[in-house]
Amino acid sequence: MRIPLSAPDITERDIEAVARVLRSGSLSLGPQLEEFERGIREYVGSAHAVAVNSGTSGLHLAMRALGIGEGDEVIVPSFTFVAVANAVCFERAVPVFVEVDSETLCLDPTIVEAAISPRTRAIIMVHTFGCPADVAAILDIAKRHKLFVIEDACEALGAEIDGRKVGALGDVGVFAFYPNKQMTTGEGGMVVTGNPEIAATVRSLRNQGRRDPQEWLQHEEIGYSFRLTDIQCALGSEQLKRIDSILRRREAVAESYHRRLRGNPNLILPPLRLPRRRISWFVYVIRLAEGFTREDRDWIMQQMQKRGIGCGRYFAPIHLQPAYSDIAFRKTDLAFTEHIGERTLALPFFNRLADEQVAEVVTTLLGLLRKARLR
C-alpha cells in the first residue's frame, strides 16, 4: 500500500537500544524488563506492572489471577477485538455480550447492570479505539454487585479520565504493544494492578508458574511461557520516552481528518474530544450514514485498497464470528452493535502519516462515497 493502514514508528535511537541488548547477552528476564515495567508503572500510576508477550496473554492471566473459571460469567462488549472474549473462553467461563454506547462505542453502563446474573464474576471494560469508557459508572455497578473490573486498555495507552490514566482504575488493567499501537515492542503487553497478590500471580504464571526466580526448576502452579524479552523491553522503554509527543502527533492526525470530513452527511465521525476525558488515538474509524449497506462499505474499502490506500473494517461483532458458532454465551439485544459492524471503516492512521496523505485519503473516500450513492 502506498498509504498503509498502520505503520510502526521506529527511530535510530530505538534501533540502537535494541542493538545494545543484543550486544549485552542478557536477552530475557534481565534489566531491560525491570526498566520497562517500572516505566509503565510510573506512567500510568499503578503500583505494579508485569510485562507479558501480548495483550491477549495479559487478559488471559488477569482472568486466571482473579480466579475466574468454568461456568462463571464475564460481561464483555461484542463490538471489540475477539481476544477479549477469547480470554474468557480460555478459562471455560461464559462471555455475556452487552451493547455499546452510541458515541464512545464502549460498554453502555445502562445495559451492563441488567445483564448481571448470580453467576457474573467480572466486567471487562474496553477503552475502544483509545476512547475512555464510562469508568465511574461501571466501577459503581461492579462495587454494588461485588464484581471484578478488568480494564482492557490495549488500545488506550495514555488515555485519561479526570487526569488519571486508564488501565490503573479497575482491579487489573492490560495494555498491548503490537506494531499498530501508539507505541510498540513488536509483540508485547503489560498487566498493571494495585493488588500485590494479583501481580505476584501474574508474574508467576507468565514464567511457567515459578514464584521464586532463583529456583528455575521449582514450579508452584501450572503456568505459561508468556515472557517478554529484554530485546522488546528495550524498544518499549525507548518508545515510552517519547509517548507524549507520539500522542500529540496522533491527536493532530485525528484533527486533520476531522477538519476535512466534518459536516459530510454521508459519514458519522468519532468524537474529537469528550468532557473530562483525553482520547489516546489508536485508529480513526468512521461510520457510513443511514442508507449505506455493508456491501457499500466493503466496495469502498476494496476500491481504496486498489488505489493503494489501506483501510479495514473495525470490528465484526464477536457473537457473529464463525469461531463462536459453537460457543456458549449470553447476550443482550445487540442491534446497534450489528448495525455499526456493517458500516465502520478504519482509515490510515499512524504517527508519521503526513497531512498531504490525509488529504489524499479524504479526497479518495469522498469520491467513492458519491459513487456508492449512485450504484
Which positions are catalytic? 181
Parallel, antiparallel or unpaired: strands 172-176 and 277-278: unpaired
In sequence order, what are the residues at sequence separation of 6 or more whose Cβ sits closer than 8 angstroms to the Cβ of residue 278? 132, 158, 159, 160, 161
**Residue 60 to residues 55, 134, 189, 211, 305: CA-CA distances in angstroms?**
9, 23, 11, 18, 34
**Residue 371 to residues 154, 266, 299: CA-CA distances in angstroms?**
36, 12, 10
User: What is 13-52 written as a DSSP string?
Assistant: HHHHHHHHHHHHS--BSSHHHHHHHHHHHHHHT-SEEEEE
Cell of 87: 480470554
Distance of CA 185 to the CA centre of its chain: 15
Give me the helices (H) in 213-312, please. 230-240, 243-261, 294-306
Give me the helices (H) in 159-310, please. 196-205, 230-240, 243-261, 294-306
- Give the CA angle between residues 171, 98, 155 to the nearest 5°: 55
Distance (Å, rounded) from C-alpha 360 to C-alpha 121? 48
Classified as helix, coil or strand, 100 is strand
User: With left for phi above 0 and alpha for psi between -120 and 50, is residue 330 left, alpha or beta?
Assistant: beta
